[in-house]
Amino acid sequence: MSAEFGKVAVLMGGNSAERDVSLKSGRAVLEALLNCGVDAIGIDTAHNLFGQLLADTYDYAFIILHGRGGEDGCIQGVLEHLGIPYTGSGVLGSALAMDKYRTKQVWQGMGLPTPSSIVLNEHTDFEAVATQLGFPLMVKPVLEGSSVGISKVNNQAELRQAWETAAQCDSLVIAEKFVHGAEYTIAVLEGKALPVIRVETPRDFYDFEAKYQDDHTLYHCPCGLDTEQEQRLQTLAEQAIQAVGVTGWGRVDVMYDAKQKPWLLEVNTVPGMTDHSLVPMAAKAAGLDFDALVLRILKTSSLS
């Protein structure tokens, strides 16, 4: 089986705010491929990417770059140009899913539920934003992942500061209506949703520390929903991913409100593959161990 893949470049690291997480994910993926007998080589894309890719002949690329440069269509375009099939979504799906604001616009246009949002900038009437969305609300940089630069805002005094914090990460920032309730995440592999995971954190919200550093974060799989509810959530995740052109694999984050209505938050086209990561957890619940999961993802490689 391993011979069919030839030589595989595992692309990790990069220069985004999620570099450290990407390196950890990349090392885990590389180890899994080597365990399966695949001729795989790790490449840190932070420096001389073209030189490293052209220094050898690669049959496939496993993209495990999180954030900008990895999930936004840039590396996908490079690999398209070089004719190297790669894992995950193509240029369009990657770029669109990375943009939280435009992803929400697509979902809204298709009638899929996502919290109301408003773009913030230096000319924004912050009092009007507070009146329209209410408190608490979330302020997010549009083009970052792993909750980088995100703040939960509880009052008017915090709103401008939250925008200034997010704007340091990205010039495009949104305020989003906060959803009170349980948080769920749904991994999708080859168009089919895996078992749903419910996320529970003692922190104010599921921020960067809760995702990667806090051992008190709990992940429930089975998620606690009944069979019909879980199936509806899985179907919603499949629709959300299809709507923005995400292929191969991905993960959808959802909040349930007090009336048990689901609200789509975002799509991750290159989810984490660390010991705290959710896609391996969902795959394990579906009977797929980490090495087998990595091979399944590699098999989805293509040129868009």
pLDDT, tens only, 123-174: 889 999 999 999 999 998 887 655 567 888 998 888 988 888 888 877 789 9
Question: In CATH, what number is assigned to the domain containing residue 131?
Answer: 3.30.1490.20
The answer to whether residue 266 is catalytic is: yes
Structure tokens at 128: 């009007």
Domain limits at 139?
A: 117-177
- Which DSSP symbol is given to 196? -
- Which DSSP symbol is given to 269? S
The answer to whether residue 253 is catalytic is: yes
Same domain, 163 and 278: no
Structure tokens at 294: 């990595």
Catalytic member of 144, 149, 272, 301:
272
Same domain, 197 and 131: no
Residue 78 lies in a domain: yes
Catalytic member of 86, 184, 212, 256:
212
Residuewise pLDDT in 10s, the chain (304 residues): 567 899 999 999 998 888 998 999 999 999 999 999 999 999 999 989 999 999 999 999 999 999 888 999 999 999 999 999 999 999 999 999 999 999 999 999 999 999 999 999 888 899 999 999 999 999 988 876 555 678 889 988 889 888 888 888 777 899 999 999 999 999 999 999 999 999 987 666 555 555 555 566 789 999 999 999 999 999 999 999 999 999 999 999 999 998 999 999 999 999 999 867 899 999 999 999 999 999 999 999 988 7
Name the strand (E) or helix (H) holding 49: helix 49-54
Same domain, 143 and 276: no
pLDDT for residue 80: 96
Sheet holding 60-63, edge to edge: 39-44, 7-12, 60-63
The answer to whether residue 251 is catalytic is: yes
Whether residue 135 contacts residue 155, with contact meaning beta carbons closer than 8 Å, is answered with: yes
Tally Cβ neighbours within 10 Å of residue 87.
27
Catalytic member of 16, 22, 94, 268:
268
Q: Can you tell me the distance from the alpha carbon of 196 to that of 292, in angstroms, rounded to the nearest whole number?
A: 19
Residue 128 lies in a domain: yes
Same domain, 105 and 251: yes
Catalytic member of 14, 18, 72, 86:
18
Structure tokens at 13: 């690291």
pLDDT for residue 166: 87
Structure tokens at 223: 């998620």
Same domain, 157 and 262: no
**Domains in the chain: how many in total?**
3
Catalytic member of 146, 151, 301, 304:
146
Same domain, 202 and 295: yes
- Rounded to the nearest 10 degrees, the angle between the axes of helix 91-98 and helix 74-82 is 170
Residue 29's SS3 state is helix
Tally Cβ neighbours within 10 Å of residue 211.
20
Residue 19 lies in a domain: yes
Same domain, 223 and 249: yes
Phi and psi at residue 55, to the nearest 5°: -75, -15
The answer to whether residue 250 is catalytic is: no
The answer to whether residue 268 is catalytic is: yes
CA angle 169, 201, 272 (to 5 degrees): 55
What's the predicted TM-score (pTM) here? 0.90
Catalytic member of 145, 230, 251, 304:
251
Same domain, 143 and 287: no
Structure tokens at 225: 């929903």
Same domain, 275 and 163: no
Q: Can you tell me the distance from the alpha carbon of 30 to that of 4, in angstroms, rounded to the nearest whole number?
A: 17
Question: In CATH, what number is assigned to the domain containing residue 81?
Answer: 3.40.50.20
pLDDT for residue 157: 83
Catalytic member of 145, 245, 253, 256:
253
Same domain, 280 and 142: no
Catalytic member of 44, 72, 170, 266:
266
Which class for 228: exposed (0-12), middle (13-18), buried (19 or more C-beta within 10 A)? exposed
Residue 304 lies in a domain: no
CA angle 45, 47, 51 (to 5 degrees): 85
Q: Can you tell me the distance from the alpha carbon of 158 to that of 147, in angstroms, rounded to the nearest whole number?
A: 18
Question: In CATH, what number is assigned to the domain containing residue 261?
Answer: 3.30.470.20
Same domain, 253 and 173: no
The answer to whether residue 44 is catalytic is: no
Phi and psi at residue 17, to the nearest 5°: -65, -15
